[in-house]
Structure 1
Amino acid sequence: MEYRTLGRSGLKVSTLTLGTMTFGGTGPFAAVGKSDLSEASRIIDTCIDAGINLIDTANVYSNGLSEEIVGEALGGKRKNDVLIASKARMRIGNGPNDEGLSRHHLIRECERSLKRLKTDVIDIYFLHEWDGVTPLEETIAALDTLVSQGKIRYVGCSNYSGWQVMKALSISDSHHQPRFVTQQIHYTLEAREAEYELLPISVDQGLGVLVWSPLAGGLLSGKYRRDSPTAWLLGRPAVSSLVIGARNEAQLKDNLAAASLTLSLDERLRLDDVSRPPVLYPYWHQQFTAKNRFGPADLVLDRSDI
């Protein structure tokens, strides 16, 4: 297993991360998976044996049951340097403060997640989605409190747009408060929109990228080849780890081999060519007028077809 530094932090994460949306299987998440504690324990043990050191969950997955199962399944395995990532933002009840990124909701949900996970600290805490109602200053200050209290170690965001990421980073920098070290995004060979803004921001601002659903929802079912798309993602700029899930231990073992697969240059170029996103404005204009002064972040978007 390869380990990569997560953004500008000193934290090393495995190139594959275990996603636990399949744990629990209550409510709408039952359609994703229904792994109980016994199955989840086998999945986690298989991952640890393969060298995976990051487990990703969220308070909204099966209404907290996923976190509970992770906490029970890990037990003393935390001593083996297994990292836990969790998230908050989504609605988890019927009350007016049961969603969002207010100080009230964020601190309360972090403390609830800690209890379910049976741990004193969450290694990476993600803002699960944008909240346009709560001032970002309030959200970042709440994260600062949680870091100061030793309840979380690193912070990140998920499913943000480019301007939202940059606004949050600006507030963190100006107030000397915790800065995102990572973002978790949707990015596949079939959906490369992240190359317009999110990957360039990651390169420029030093954010590590965790990719959710890297197999585009179909690879685990055997509909597509299990090699090329996953290996292609691991070669993209700023990508630190791919979050993979599995309905059972057998599915997981089928996909762990992706961590050691290497594509040839010809294979990579062919994949780039068939999946290249259209070059939108202002990128096509910059290609003609500014390419002599492109920096590393500008080069993430492939403009070779212009």
Structure 2
Amino acid sequence: MIKVLKKSKVLTVSAILIMSLSLIFTGCGKSNESSNSGSESANKISGNIEIDGSSTVYPITEAIAEEFQANNQDARVTVGMSGSGGGFKRFTSGETDISNASREIKEEEVTKAKENNIEYTKFDVAYDGISIVVNKENEFVKDLTTDELKKIWEPDSKVKTWKDVRPEWPNEEIRLYGPGTDSGTFDYFTEEIVGESKKIRTDYTASADPNVLVQGVSSDKYSLGYFGYAYYLENKDALKLVSVNGVKPEPKTIQSGEYSPLSRPLFIYASNKSVKEKPQVKEFVKTYLETAKDIVSGIGYIPLEDAKYSEQLKTLENIK
């Protein structure tokens, strides 16, 4: 009887072990199934997305594109940096799915879009403050008024030296650095500071790449330049930020508009056709609006209010 009990116990334990192993292997199978399913889900978005436009918005879109591609490995996102104007040329011709813009679309660009049957939706993505910068070794410039900036940058400007701006400043030549004529930052700056879009003196170093401007100002003691706030933050050890009318650009003053007139919103424009016909484009814009807050802050721009992003997600869903 005792032997039987012992045998029964062995059989019972064996049965339990077999059942346990069976459950473990079944669980592993389900886990793998689930993992494969998740992998398939992560890779279900495929296809190309073509984006071009603003160099100011570029770092936001590029960061979101990297994250999007990491989660959707069959998708390919190409992000160009031809300036807001250059981006709209391609967008209104139907060459791109999304256009980065640091200004709103112009009337002539709207007309071109209509001619090519391009319908689109504008999405606000962040706030920026165009930053006026000088070389780190410049000890005398701390603030400039908008009148002084106009005097420096207007067409046929008579300002050649810093002394021409304020008599107490050095008699040293001002060397200027700014965005090229296809840049939305250029358009916005000339409109707000000079008083007319695209009107500016021509004897300055222009580039569509803000990194070139950063390099120029940081290596030229008596220089002056302007570009998006994020590029200043990225290079603040090599540059000196200048107040405008006594106010420095920083998150609080940019978002509130106190840093006037150089605070502005940043945009992406999405082709309605691409959103409707290309699942990867709709998913990318959705990802953009869902992740922009954290990514924008990390890059150095100022995010929108939460409600604004939520509202625009609804706008995206209503593109039918």
TM-score range with shorter-chain normalisation? under 0.3
Please identify the structure whose Cα radius of gyration is greater. Answer: 2
When the two structures are superposed, what TM-score results if normalisation uses the length of structure 2? 0.25
Structure showing greater relative contact order (alpha-carbon pairs closer than 8 Å, 6 or more residues apart): 2
Q: What is the TM-score when the length of structure 1 is the normalising length?
A: 0.26
